[in-house]
Chains A and B, each alone.
Chain A
Amino acid sequence: MKISVQINASPYQYQASDSAWHFIQAALLGGHEVFRVFFYHDGIYNALHDARAPADEQQIVKRWSELNAKHNVDLVVCVSSAQRRGLLESSVAKKVNGYEKALANGFRIAGLGLLMEAVIDSDRLVTFGA
């Protein structure tokens, strides 16, 4: 099956990101295609480049980057949710405040059109939130 995931909650504050990640691991292990993970509302905080959790805690942002690197899962951060919360795509960030790298590796910023595409093209879309 072609499965997509939507994540609406911030990491660490809620279990949603963790549940989603485990679900995706199980889906990949089960031979399913994970088409896209779409980060919306506070879910965009899963994509912060400079997140630094203590070493004995889950490295949630890093885990997402690894998921993209290892399995090529498309990680999309919604541009309007991101901008509202101060997470800017690099060319915009550079222009606005000179700080280029706000987005963690493996993520890309795009519009809600990609969420719609995920809804249309996937067999299932599972939402994790709070």
Chain B
Amino acid sequence: MSKKLVFVFKDVLNGTVKAQEFLDIIMMAAAFDLSISLIFIGDGAYALLKNQRTEEINSKNILPIMQALSIYDINNIFVDEISLQERAILAERIIPQVSLITREKSQFEISSADHVFSF
């Protein structure tokens, strides 16, 4: 049985190479046919906002890649709904490929991983 990897995003990804380097790991994990989940918590919820005009700071926009992850069979993209509520972010403001999950499900998702990558 292949290992379950969970990628936890706790912060925004703008302005640095981190976003790309995190995605590189996710893509490589997909190539190895491992079970993959992405979960956005805390300020990581902001990373999912639509209409990020990253060209304003000459930064790479990773949203298009995030939205295309299903091509790589990565369909488990979650956001902790309490993190959204705390930041007054309505569901319609984030990309549609993300599923809202409860705090309990968020905790379970992370704790049931074989390995957690933290960003």
Q: Are B17 and A112 in contact (CB under 8 A)?
A: no
Report yes or no: A40 in contact with B28, Cβ–Cβ below 8 A.
no
What 1/0 flags go to B1-24 for Cβ under 8 Å of A? 001010000000000011001001
Let me know if B107 is at the binding interface, CB within 8 A. no
B32: which A residues are within 8 A, CB to CB?
A: 113, 116, 120
Total count of chain B residues near the partner, CB < 8 A: 16
Among B18, B115, B117: residue with most chain A CB under 10 A: B115
Q: Is the CB of A112 within 8 A of B3?
A: no
> Which residues does chain A contribute within 8 Å of B117, judged by CB atoms?
127
Interface core residue of B3, B5, B21, B114 (most chain A CB under 10 Å): B21
Tell me whether A84 is interfacial, beta carbon within 8 Å.
yes
Size range of the interface on A? Answer: 10 to 19
CA distance A8 to B96 in the complex (A): 31
Please give, as numbers and ranges, the residues of chain A lying within 8 Å of B62 by CB-CB distance: none
- Interface check B65, CB cutoff 8 A: no
Quick check: A119 and B21 within 8 Å, CB to CB? Answer: no
Q: Which chain B residues lie closer than 8 Å to A115 at the CB level?
A: 25, 28
Q: Is B29 an interface residue (CB 8 A)?
A: yes
Q: Is B52 an interface residue (CB 8 A)?
A: no
**A117 vs B117: C-alpha distance when bound (angstroms):** 14
Within 8 Å by CB of B21, from A41, A111, A116, A125, lies A41
Query: Which residues in B have their C-beta under 8 angstroms from that of A10?
Result: none
A113 pairs with B28, CB closer than 8 A: yes
Measured CB to CB, the nearest residue on chain B to A120 is: B3
Query: B18 — which chain A residues lie within 8 A by C-beta?
Result: 41
Q: How far is the CA of A111 from the CA of B29 in the complex (A)?
A: 12
Contacts of B115 in A (CB 8 A): 119, 125
Cα separation A125 to B31 with both chains bound (whole Å)? 19
Q: Known A-B contacts: A84-B17, A120-B3. Give 10 more (CB < 8 A).
A: A40-B25, A80-B24, A111-B28, A112-B24, A112-B28, A113-B28, A116-B29, A119-B3, A120-B32, A127-B118
Residue numbers of B with Cβ under 8 A of A are 3, 5, 17-18, 21, 24-25, 28-29, 31-32, 34, 114-115, 117-118
Report 13 cross-chain contacts, Cβ distance below 8 Å, ordered by A residue. A40-B21, A41-B17, A80-B24, A81-B21, A112-B28, A115-B28, A116-B28, A116-B31, A119-B3, A119-B29, A119-B34, A127-B117, A127-B118
